[in-house]
Amino acid sequence: MSEWVLLLGGSTGHGAATAKRLSSDGYGIIAFHFDRGDAKKVAEETISEVSELTNGRCHYFNTNATSEEAMEKYIPKIKEITKGEPLKLLLHSIAFGTTTNFFGEKPVTQRQMDMTVHVMGNSILYWTQKLYDSNLLASGSRILGLTSEGNYLAMEGYGPVSVAKVAMEAIIRQIGWELGEVGITANAIQAGITPTRALTKITENWEEWVESTKKRNPMRRTTTPEDVAKTISMLLKPEADFINCSIIYCDGGESRSGAF
Ligand SMILES: NC(=O)c1ccc[n+]([C@@H]2O[C@H](COP(=O)([O-])OP(=O)(O)OC[C@H]3O[C@@H](n4cnc5c(N)ncnc54)[C@H](O)[C@@H]3O)[C@@H](O)[C@H]2O)c1
C-alpha cells in the first residue's frame, strides 16, 4: 500500500483541511479542485501550505474532476505518481451543484438535477470503478464521501443536493458491499453545518443558520473542517479496517438534537 491519497475537492473547506492533516500524517497528496478568481487565490495558499507540509509530495490539478475525460486523462498520471501502488484513500469532497427549490420562481431544471446528482453523487462511483480497474485500489484502501443532514431533511434550496447526497450514500453502501471481500471499505461521513464557501452558496441567510446551529448543537459550536479532517485521519488507521458501509457522524451530536 502506497502512502498516497486522492482528494476530489482538495483546495478549500473539508478537502483542504484533510489535505493538511494527512500531509502531517505523512501521506503524499494528489488532489483535484476547480477554482477560478478569488477561489483560485485561496486554493493557491492551500497548495503552497500542503506542498511545504509534504516536502513537495503533492500534486494539485485545477480541472473538473467529474468528467469522464478527466478520469481517463489523470488516472495514468496518478499511477505514475504512486509508481503503481494503490491509493490509501479516495475522498469525494466536491461541492458544486444547483441550489434552488423544485417549485417557485426558479424551479430546478432536469439539466441542473442531472448535473448536481452526477457531480456530488454518481461521480464517486465512476472514479472508484476506474481506479479499481487500474489496480489503484486494493486491500486497505478507503473510499470516503461527505454527506449532510440534508440527506433526510428538506430545506430551502437544498433539494438537488439532497438528492445527490442520498445517491452518494447508496453508492458508498453498495461499493463497500461489493468490494468488502477484497478489503476495500467505503463509508460516508456526515458533517454538521460547517462555515465553508459551499455553505454560503446554499442560502443568503447562512450566517443566521450558523448562529442557530450553535444553539442547537449539544457542543454549542458548528463543525470545523479540521473536525472532519481528524475523523478521516482516524479512519485511515488499521483500527478502522472493519468499518464498512456506514455513515459516521462528525457533528458534535447536532443531528441528534431536537429544535432548541
Ligand atoms: N459545509 C457544510 O456545512 C457541509 C456539511 C456537510 C457536508 N458537506 C459536504 O462536504 C463536501 C465539501 O464541501 P465544503 O463545505 O468543504 O465546500 P468548499 O466549497 O469549501 O469545497 C469544495 C471543493 O470542491 C472543489 N470542486 C468544486 N467543483 C469541482 C469539480 N467539478 N471538480 C473538482 N473539484 C471541484 C472546489 O475546488 C473545492 O476544493 C461537499 O460534498 C459538501 O456537501 C458540507
For residue 199, the ligand 1 atom closest to its alpha carbon is 1
E strands of 67-151, at which residues?
A: 89-92, 142-147
Question: For residues 58 and 24, is the Cβ–Cβ distance under 8 A?
Answer: no
Share of the chain above pLDDT 70, in %: 98
And the C-alpha cell for 45? 495558499
Task: Tell me how many degrees the CA angle 92-98-101 measures, rounded to the nearest 5.
Answer: 130
- Ligand 1 centroid distance, CA of 95 (Å): 3
Check if the beta carbon of residue 237 is closer than 8 Å to that of residue 185. no
Please report which confidence band the pLDDT of residue 259 belongs to, taking 50, 70 and 90 as the band edges: low
| 202 has a pLDDT exceeding 90 | no
pLDDT surpassing 80 at residue 1: no
Q: Enumerate residues lining ligand 1, CB below 6 A.
A: 8-15, 32-35, 64-66, 93-96, 119-120, 146, 148, 191, 193-194, 196-199
pLDDT tens per residue across span 239-251? 999 999 999 999 9
Residue found by looking up cell 427549490 in the block: 101
Q: State how far the Cα of 121 lies from the Cα of 118, in Å rounded to an integer.
A: 5
Those residues whose C-beta lies under 8 Å from the C-beta of residue 223, and which sit 6 or more positions away, are: 191, 192, 193, 194, 250, 251, 252, 254
| pLDDT above 60 (res 260) | no
Does residue 201 register a pLDDT over 90?
A: no
pLDDT in the model for residue 205: 86
Residue 208 has pLDDT above 60, yes or no: yes
Residue 28's pLDDT is what? 98
For the stretch 83-142, pLDDT in tens is 999 999 999 999 999 999 999 999 999 999 999 999 999 999 999 999 999 999 999 999
Percent of the chain with pLDDT over 90: 94
Amino acid 221: pLDDT: 98
Mean of the pLDDT values across residues 149-157?
93
Q: How far is the CA of 63 from the centre of ligand 1 (A)?
A: 14
pLDDT(2) > 60 = no
Q: Give the residue whose CA is nearest to atom 12 of ligand 1.
A: 93
- Closest ligand 1 atom, residue 10 Cα: 39
The residue whose CB lies within 8 Å of the most ligand 1 atoms, and thus the one to mutate among 12, 127, 200, is 12
What letter would DSSP give residue 91? E
Ligand 1 site-directed mutation target among 93, 151, 199, 212, most atoms within 8 Å of CB: 93
Centre of ligand 1 from the C-alpha of residue 163, in Å? 16
Query: Which protein residue has the closest C-alpha to ligand 1 atom 43?
Result: 95
Could you report the per-residue pLDDT of 46-57, keeping only the tens digit for each? 999 999 999 999
Spatial contact of 125 and 175, defined as CB atoms under 8 Å apart: yes
The answer to whether residue 151 scores a pLDDT higher than 60 is yes
Mean pLDDT computed over every residue of the chain: 96
DSSP 135-154: T---TT-EEEEEE-GGGT--
Which pLDDT belongs to residue 109?
98
